[in-house]
Each structure stands twice: as structure tokens, then as C-alpha cells.
Amino acid sequence: MVAVVHQDRTNMTDAEWQIRCDLAALYRICDLYGWTDTINSHLSARIPGEPNCFLINNYGDLFGEVTASSLVKMDTDGKVYAKNGAFNDAGFIIHAGIYRAKTDVNCVMHTHVRAGTGISVLKQGLRPISQDALEVYDEVTYHEYGSLGSYNEGDALGVTCQKGECLILRNHGLLTIGATPQAALQRMYALVRACEIEVIARTLDEPPTPIDPEVVKDYAKRNKPKRALPEFGIKEWRAAVRQIEGRSTDWRQ
């Protein structure tokens, strides 16, 4: 058993506790979907009312072990506000850089799912060849592989995030951002699905049937306003939470 660090709730606001519960649920949902890489890769959420502070997993915990009180609170300068909490250096660099650059972003998801990483190594990358791809295609942008040991890489990621909400990190993996955990999750789900279908299509003996470019544009035009709504991803989130509740509810501890 891993010794999970639990933080004291005494000085927490209700808003902080709620976002802790939501982020812990997000880790459990990713565990359910198989979007894990043992103790590596990371998800984070900005703390309401504290724009320079965010929550991230205690480094060493599996996604299925994360709870609301085990999450580590830190700020974008690297100061840790948690007793005995540990964080992944690359995780801090990625998430802090994005939060510094995008004040409207409150959740960041980074995964190493195989299909996404597979697409990240290809020059052409993701193509608009499926309905799943159209869900995110106009939000997709690419970030060239950089040294995650360098704080400059966090700033570079912040610049890339100005161009789109769904990042394919070249030779690395996937990253999505959102105003809420629900929005970030919905983008990641669609992005992973699009990458899975792209991988399948590339194994077949014939080229994919193209989607008319005008249809691609129209799809993006109709979907963009929906993705900007506060309720974006809420219904899908509630369904996912029901799934993890079937396993346990201890992430709320």
C-alpha cells in the first residue's frame, strides 16, 4: 500500500474542497478509461479565488489512489502549500506555464495514451477523417518536443496553448485545457477517440474516405459556440462519475 498524504481541511474554502473532489474524480475517470502511465502523466486544476495556485497529484500515487485530500497545492512559482507532498518536476513545468499564460484555463490534462503518442510521432498527425476528429479538429495544435527539465518549456507550452485547446505534443503525448475539468475531459475524450481512429485507418489497405472541406468548416462553426458554454461536458461528466461511483466513492476523502 502507498502511504497517501492527506491534507488538513481546516483552512480550506468550500470552493477549494469542491475542486479537489472534482480533480480527484477526474483522476479516477482517467484510471477507468485506461489513460494512465503508472505514476507518470498528470492532471491539474486551478483553485477558485487563488489564481496563482493549482492542485496536482502527489507524485508516486497511482491515478486510482488519488483522493481530494491527497492532492498537492502549489503555486505557479513552485511554492508547495502541502505537508510532505511531492510533485513531478515536469508536471509543474507544464501546468504552471499554461496557467501563467492562460488566465481563462482552470484545468489541464496531460496523458501518454498509446494512440495519442502514436499520432504525435507522425509528421502529418491527425486528419479530419472521422466525426470524432471533427469534434476537436479546429482546436488541435501541435507543440514541438522540448526539454521538460527546462522552465522555458513551460513558457513555450503557454504560447502554444494560445493557438488551441487540444495539443498534440510531438513525440510525447496529448494535452487538453478547459475552463472546467468537465470541458478538459470532454476534449480529451474526443481527442483520444480521434487518435484511435486515425491509428486504425493507417493500418488499412486503402486511403480513408475524405470528408468534404466545407463540411469540416461547417462542423467547426456549429460546435465552437457550444464548447464555450459553461455547461460544456457536464452531461458526459455526470455519466462518468456514475461509472466511478460503481467502483467506490473514496476519492471524496
Decide if pLDDT at 2 tops 60: no
**Number of residues written out for the chain:** 253
Q: What is the residue-averaged pLDDT of the chain?
A: 93
- Mean pLDDT across the stretch 144-156? 85
Question: What does the pLDDT read at residue 5?
Answer: 56
pTM: 0.94
Per domain, the residue ranges of the chain are 14-237
Domain 14-237: which CATH class?
alpha beta
- Please give the grid coordinates belonging to residue 128: 479530419
Helix (H) or strand (E) holding 113: none
Q: How many CA atoms, within 13 angstroms, populate the side-chain half-sphere of residue 203?
A: 9
**Mean pLDDT of the 198-227 span:** 96
pLDDT digits (tens, 9 = 90+) for 70-89: 999 999 999 999 777 778 88
How do residues 33-76 score in pLDDT, each as one tens digit?
999 999 999 999 999 999 999 999 999 999 999 999 999 999 99
Looking at residue 7, its pLDDT comes to 66
Helix (H, G, I), strand (E, B) or coil at 217: helix
Where residue 250 falls among pLDDT bands split at 50, 70, 90? very high
Read off the pLDDT of residues 104-116 as tens digits, 9 standing for 90 and up.
999 999 999 999 9
Alpha carbon 59 to its chain's center: 17
Q: Running DSSP on this structure, what letter comes out for residue 150?
A: S
DSSP class of 209: P
